[in-house]
Structure 1
Amino acid sequence: MKFRPPVVEIPTDDPFKNDALGPDRRKLGESLASVFKEIEDNLVVCLDAAWGEGKTTFVEMWQAHMRNEGACCLYFDAFKNDFVAEPFDAFVVEIEKAAKNLLQKEDYTGEVVSSFRESALRVASKVLTALPGFALRAAARKFLGEKTVEEVATLVESGAEALNMETERIFDSYRESASAIEQFEQSLRRLGEQIRMETGYPLVIIVDELDRCRPDFAMNLLERIKHFFHVPNVCFLISANLTQLESSVRSVYGLGSDAPNYLRKFFHVIVNFPKCTPLSHATRYIDVLQKYHGLPEHRSLHGMSFSRWLTVCLAAHFQLSLREIEFCMQELAMCFAGHREQSEYNEVLTPFLIIVRLHDRELFEKLKSGYPTFDEVQRRLGLDVLFQGVEGMNEHVPMSLKNVLQRILPPVVQRTDGSPRVREVEWLEATTPHGTDIKDFIRHLCRQIERFEVLR
C-alpha cells in the first residue's frame, strides 16, 4: 500500500497530459501563455485558489508548457525559503540560481546574462546588512547594550565620534545596497529586453506558495519585490490564496487593516483558478488515487467501486478540495489496511464517516458517543438532496447509503399527539447481518476510524 499522494508526472512534450482534472486547466494555461505573450506592458497576475486546489501542480505544468513555447520562466518557492529572516535575500539568490540553470540550458549567453547574474549576487550580499532596521539595531546593541540612562549619557559624550563613524558606515552600506538594487533592476530590464527579442515573451517570474509562508515573510517579500513590478518585459505570476493572504496582512499590520485594498496595490489581474466539476473531473482523480493506494476496485455494493462512492460524497455533495479528497483517500487506505474483514455496512459507512469527520467534527463526535437520529443526520448534512439522486451517478449508490443509515441510526416516529419519539424497541433489538448490535456498530466503527487521522 502506498500512503503519500502520488506526484503527478509532467511529460516535457505535453505537460498537461496527466492532469486528471480535465481540460479546464489546460485551457487556462494556454490562455495565460497567450496573455503574457501579447501584453506589451509589465504585468503582475495573482492566481487565486484555496489551499489544496492544485495551484502548485498547475504552475509546474504551466512552466513546462511555457518552456515548450520558447518562453523563459524563473520559479521561486516562497514557502520553501521562509526560514530566512530577510525574504528579498532568499528571492534574489533563488532567482539567480534559476536563471543560471535555465539560461545555460537555453543557450542564453553574452554580456546581458552575465551582468544579470553578477548584479543578483551583488545585491544578495549587500541587502541584508544594509536594511535600516537591522543596521540600527546592530549599532544600538554594539554601543548601548543594557546600559542605564546615566551610563548612556556618559557613553554619548565619550563616544560621539565613534558613533558618528558607525553611523557613516551604516549609511555607506545602505547606499551600496541601494546602488546594488538599482544595478540589479537595470540588469533585469536588459535581460527582459533580450528575452523578449529572442522569444517573443517577456521574462516571467513565478512566485509560488506565498499563502503558506510566515505572515511577516509573505508581506515583506511582496513589499520588496514590488519595486521590480514596473520593469518592462518582466512579468510576475504569483500563486496564492488571497483569503489567506488577507489574514497575513491583518496578522502583520493589525486586525483593523483593510486587507483586500492593501493587496490590490500589488496585482494588476486576479485569475480565479477553475475548480473541478463535481463528477466528471473529480471522478477521474479519485480513480487515480484509488489505484495508487491499492484500494479494491470493486466490493459487494452493486459492483460499484469505492471511487464512485467517494465521488458522490465528496465532489457532488460536500464539495471538498483536491487536498481534502487526498486526505480522505489516505485515511480510507489506512482503515482498510488495518481492518481486512469488511461487511457491506463497513464498505458504505467507512468512507462516509471519514468524510463526516472532515466536514463536521461535532457530528462525528456525536455519532461516536451518542445516538443521533437518522433525521438529525440527514438534516445536518443536507443528505436529502443527495438521496434525491445525482446526475450521472447510479441511483443505487445514494439509496444504498440511505438504506444503511436508516438501519444503523435510531429512527423517529410520531406519537399520537404528533410529537416525535425514538422507536426504541425495534432499533435496540436489531442486529447487522453479521450479528453485531445495531446500536453499537456505528460507535465502534467511528472509534476504528479515529485510530488513523491523516494530518493536513
Structure 2
Amino acid sequence: MAQEVEVSSVSRQEIALRLPKLTIEDGVWPNPNDKLDRRAEIENLTPVLLNAQAPLVLGLEAPWGGGKSTFIRLWQQFLTCNGYVSLSLNVWESDFCDDPLLPLLSVLDDWLSEQREEGAAGKAWQKAKKLAPCLIRASAVAAVKAGTFGALDFDKAVEGAIASSAGEVTGNIVDSFKSKESTLRAFKDLLTSALEALPGEQPNLIIFIDELDRCRPSYAIELLERIKHLFDIDRLVFVLAINREQLGMSLQGVYGSNFDGENYLRRFVDLDYQLRVPSVRGYVEAQLSLPDIQQRFEGNQSLQKEFNWLIETFVWLSERFNYQLRAINQLILRLRLIIRSIPDKHSLTPQILTALLVLRDANPTLYVRFRSDLRCVNEVIMYLLGRKYDEGVFSKAFPVVAGILVGALSEEDGYNHELFRYWCDLRDRFEQQDERYKVAERIRTIAAREDGWDGAKLIQLVFNRVELVEKINATV
C-alpha cells in the first residue's frame, strides 16, 4: 500500500506532546480554564478547613489520575485570590531525601524566611530552624550540609553534635523523637509562634501534600509519622492528596500482605473527602478541545462531523473500559501523535482510529490477532461492546464502528459475505421498532458500503496509524 508522504501543517507546528497543565492566572477567580467545574467544591471546603479546630489532617481522595493535583492547584489559586496563605509540597519530587522532614521544613522556610527577623514570628522561626537538626536523622545532616536545602541555615555546633552521634541513633524515627522530647516541645512552641505570621483574618495555615501514594512506601510512612508527631500544633491543617487503595497496597509492601493498610491510615487522617469524579464526557470534550486537535477539524461541516464522532467514540469506550482521567490522557496523547502524522487533506476516520487505539491498549492479544486475521471481527465487536448483544442500550458510535469493521473484510476472500449475513440474521430476530433491530440494520447498511468506500484499504491505513505509537509508553 502506498505510504503517505505529505506532511500536515499541524505536524509542522511546535506543540508540547504532554497535555498542558491548567493555566493559573494571578488574581483571577473563578479560573476560566476549569473545565471540570471544581469551583463549588473548593469554595465549600475552604471555610471548613480555615475555621476548623487544628491540628487537622484531611485526606483528599480520588483514584489514580483522578485530578487531585489539578484540584490542589485550583484550590491554592482560590486561597491566594482571597488573601490567604497556603503551602504545597509534591513529595514524589522529594522522596530522594533521607528524611521527609527536610522538604517540609524547606517549604515552611520559603514562606517564613520572608518575615522580618526582628519580628516575633521571624525570630521564632530562626530559632526553630536551629533546633531542626536534632529532629532530623543524623544521616540526613550531610544532605543539608551539601546544600540540598541550603535555605536552612542550621547552627553548625548542633550540626556537628548530631553528625558525631550518628552511630548512637537507633530504632525507628518515632523512637528518635521520644529521646529528644524537650527539643521536640521547644520546636513545636517556636513553630506555633512563627504561625503568627499568618494574615490577621486567617485562622489556620493549610499545607497541601501531593503525590503521597507515588512515593517510596517507607518514605510515605515516615512523612505521615512526621506530620502526626511533629506538626500536630494549633492552626496547622494538612491536606493529603491520596489514592487510599494504592497507598494501602504500598504499606502492605512494607508490613506484609496481611497488614491492614486502611486502618493504619486512620491513625493519621482525621477527615476524608472524596473528590467528585467528573463526567467522562465533560472531561473528554475538554481535553479534545486542545488547539492542535481543534485546528484539524476546523473548516467545514464534514470535519465537524468527524470531530463529533471522535467525541462519541472516545466517551463510549472510556466508559466501557472504566478509564480514569490519566488513562484518558494517555490515549489522547497517542491520538495527538497520530493526528500530527496525517496529511491535512486525508480523512482521520476517528471512530476506527479510537476503537483500535483502545483495543490495542485494553487487549493487545486480540488486537494482534485481528491485525493478522480480520475474520475475528465479530469477536472484536463484542469485546468492544462489553456485553451480550441482547442486553442494554447502545452508544450511537457502536453501530458505526461495528459496520466499518465488518465492511473492511475483503469480498474477494469471501469473508465479507459470511459476516454480512450474520448481521442480517441478527437484525431479523427483532421487531423493527426494537433498538437492537435498528443497531443491526445500521451495521448492515454501513458494512454494505453503499457509499462506495474501500473498507479493506481504510482498515489497513488505520492499523498503520495506530502502530506509529505502538512502541511509545506514554506517561502523563
TM above 0.5, yes or no, is yes
Question: Alpha-carbon deviation of 1:35?
Answer: 0.6
Aligned equivalents of 1:182, 1:295: Cα separation in 2: 62
The residue number in structure 2 matching 1:401 is 401
Partner deviation per Cα, 1:61-117 (whole Å, 9 max, x = no partner): 10121123333212111011111122222322233224335xx5xx89821233124
Decide whether the 8 Å contact of 1:15 with 1:62 is kept in 2.
Answer: no
Q: Residues 322, 169 of structure 1: CA spacing in aligned structure 2 closer, same or farther, 3 A cutoff?
A: closer
Question: Alpha-carbon deviation of 1:209?
Answer: 1.1
Q: Secondary structure at the match of 1:267?
A: coil
Aligned equivalents of 1:263, 1:316: Cα separation in 2: 31
Aligned equivalents of 2:314, 2:459: Cα separation in 1: 28
Decide whether the 8 Å contact of 2:61 with 2:272 is kept in 1.
Answer: yes
Please say if 1:8 is aligned against 2:22: yes
Q: Residues 367, 219 of structure 1: CA spacing in aligned structure 2 closer, same or farther, 3 A cutoff?
A: farther
Give the letter for the 1:277 counterpart: S
Aligned equivalents of 1:211, 1:90: Cα separation in 2: 17
**Pairs within 5 Å for 1:262-411:** 262-279=264-281, 281-289=282-290, 291=292, 295-297=296-298, 300=302, 303-305=305-307, 308-309=311-312, 311-340=314-343, 346-371=349-374, 373-382=376-385, 388-390=393-395, 395=396, 397-408=397-408, 411=419
**Pairs within 5 Å for 1:22-37:** 22-23=36-37, 25-37=38-50
Aligned equivalents of 2:458, 2:288: Cα separation in 1: 32
From 94, 105, 124, the equivalent of 1:115 is 124
Aligned equivalents of 1:296, 1:176: Cα separation in 2: 67
Question: Alpha-carbon deviation of 1:376?
Answer: 1.7
Question: Alpha-carbon deviation of 1:444?
Answer: 4.5
Decide whether the 8 Å contact of 2:297 with 2:304 is kept in 1.
Answer: no
**Pairs within 5 Å for 1:38-437:** 38-100=51-113, 104=115, 110-124=119-133, 127-129=136-138, 170=168, 178-192=181-195, 195=198, 198-228=200-230, 230-279=232-281, 281-289=282-290, 291=292, 295-297=296-298, 300=302, 303-305=305-307, 308-309=311-312, 311-340=314-343, 346-371=349-374, 373-382=376-385, 388-390=393-395, 395=396, 397-408=397-408, 411=419, 433-434=453-454, 436=456
Aligned equivalents of 2:291, 2:355: Cα separation in 1: 16
Decide whether the 8 Å contact of 2:66 with 2:326 is kept in 1.
Answer: yes
TM-score of the two chains, using structure 1 as the length reference: 0.74
What is the count of residue pairs matched by the alignment?
399
Aligned equivalents of 1:290, 1:186: Cα separation in 2: 52
Q: Residues 413, 117 of structure 1: CA spacing in aligned structure 2 closer, same or farther, 3 A cutoff?
A: farther
Question: Alpha-carbon deviation of 1:326?
Answer: 2.1
Please identify runs of 4+ aligned residues in structure 1 that moved more than 6 A. 166-169, 173-176
Aligned equivalents of 2:225, 2:407: Cα separation in 1: 59
Q: Secondary structure at the match of 2:259?
A: coil
Aligned equivalents of 1:212, 1:286: Cα separation in 2: 24
Q: Residues 318, 386 of structure 1: CA spacing in aligned structure 2 closer, same or farther, 3 A cutoff?
A: farther
TM-score of the two chains, using structure 2 as the length reference: 0.71
Aligned equivalents of 1:434, 1:325: Cα separation in 2: 30
Structure 1: stretches of 5+ with no match in the other structure: 132-165, 419-426
Aligned equivalents of 1:168, 1:246: Cα separation in 2: 32
Question: Alpha-carbon deviation of 1:54?
Answer: 1.6
Q: CA RMSD in A?
A: 3.9
Q: Secondary structure at the match of 2:297?
A: coil
Q: Secondary structure at the match of 1:199?
A: coil
